[in-house]
Structure 1
């Protein structure tokens, strides 16, 4: 089973830069996107009819948003993190026979850290949510988590130590999430690999010189570790300031494919 996750930073713009070609070529069983920046009905994608699509749009126009395209029929779909109203379209959960799929776009603390408290509260809610799901069946969570967990996960850790996405508060929340029973799938296969990034600033030649951050993840329940087959970063795929990431795992729901 192949899963792909990509923060497209505006789907309409990404479509004009080759999104459809990559989408069709990957032939993923489940394809998740974040930061769609769309309202319902604003785009019609050319896609394989084998996929069913689910969207969680933000109320604010041109902001946030998530979507999932799946060849496997879900048992149920949940929009939002918990029972509270979630107006930013940041999370989609699909329940399958043997696992939950969580597509998430974590809030950014902002450059001046003015949203750090909101971000940390979200992290606590998200961890609790993941644990609740994991108590019922294994979880595969993917998306832009807006944090570089360790110094190896960004090019310039010293100069970014107090910056959004690399504060100790955000990194500690990531540590606690993993310690609660989850695996960073990429580091599972490549614990010491340097220069593995998923986001680059739009400043000139930053991506060309690979001055980036790894802030996009596939996290899986620890008990799925024996089923993991591979994890990758498609860093050569353009169209966004992020690149797609890939997870290959043994088929968990073969009987439920459309």
Structure 2
């Protein structure tokens, strides 16, 4: 069995204070994709990631973004957008994101799988939908929306290319991370009132549709929980959202079909020993590794 998790920690130092290290020990995962590390390497506590080997891409914006992949043994290859790898050309629309620490990819040493970890930009509303009286953030003329849509356009092409490269090398492919998109009505609690909210806009959901098919990538958790709402992975810190389980499912395992078929169980660790590790909760999937190689 290969236990794999994705976790947006919303700051590794804060998550460590809430018990992230204890969760690592108790959950005993083989691979963990981590987003929003939010610390430069010299600011990360030495024991923050336990005994795991850490492949890290923090970017150069202090206190923002940052991704990592934790493995029991060192991977045979690590690729980031900043290390100059020419294995898959980076689309022009992704180049502005190179220094932001949003993507890292590793080839596992103990299974024929490429693991990719993504922190996708949150985005915003297009200019014509912005109403100051209804917004928590100041209107920006659609800048955050345009940034996210540009990222999606570039990343869709990159995702296809890197998935195909992995398959050509005899490896299955698994993309994990905070996608900042609820794909379907089953992926957020109040879908009717959020149809004009960033993260659930029609064009974001249509982009997500295009990434999934039996020939490309499969939403692993949804394949195991096809008809239920959730399981959600993000809740606002405000109000009673967490207590009422009024959340969003925006943290995903997207796997090639052969790998997805080996998944035996999937769930969300809503809290750990009564403590929320982050505004997100880890999404954990068990894969039958005997059926992979």
When normalised by structure 2's length, the TM-score is: 0.81
Q: Which runs of 5+ in 2 are unaligned?
A: 83-88, 125-136
Report the 3-state secondary structure (helix = DSSP H, G, I; strand = E; otherwise coil) of the residue aligned with 1:229: strand
Partner of residue 148, structure 1: 182
Q: What displacement does 1:246 show?
A: 0.6
Q: What displacement does 1:48 show?
A: 4.5
Q: Distance in 2 between matches of 1:36 and 1:48?
A: 15
Partner of residue 54, structure 1: 55
Q: What displacement does 1:252 show?
A: 6.8
CA deviations 1:158-184 (Å, max 9, x no partner) are: 111111100011111111011361100
Relative distance call for 1:209 and 1:130 in structure 2 (3 A) is: same
Partner of residue 120, structure 2: 106
Q: Distance in 1 between matches of 2:254 and 2:230?
A: 20
Partner of residue 247, structure 1: 285
Q: How many residues align?
A: 254
Out of 203-212 and 123-132, give the one that drifted further: 123-132
Q: Distance in 2 between matches of 1:128 and 1:10?
A: 29
Out of 119-128 and 109-118, give the one that drifted further: 109-118
| The one of 227, 241, 253 aligned to 2:262 | 227
Q: Distance in 2 between matches of 1:227 and 1:162?
A: 36
Q: Is the 8 A contact 1:120 1:173 kept in 2?
A: no
Partner of residue 237, structure 2: 202
CA deviations 1:128-172 (Å, max 9, x no partner) are: 222222223221110100000011110101111111100011111
Report the 3-state secondary structure (helix = DSSP H, G, I; strand = E; otherwise coil) of the residue aligned with 1:107: coil
| The one of 160, 173, 176 aligned to 2:194 | 160
* Greater fraction strand: 1
Superposed CA RMSD in Å reads 2.1
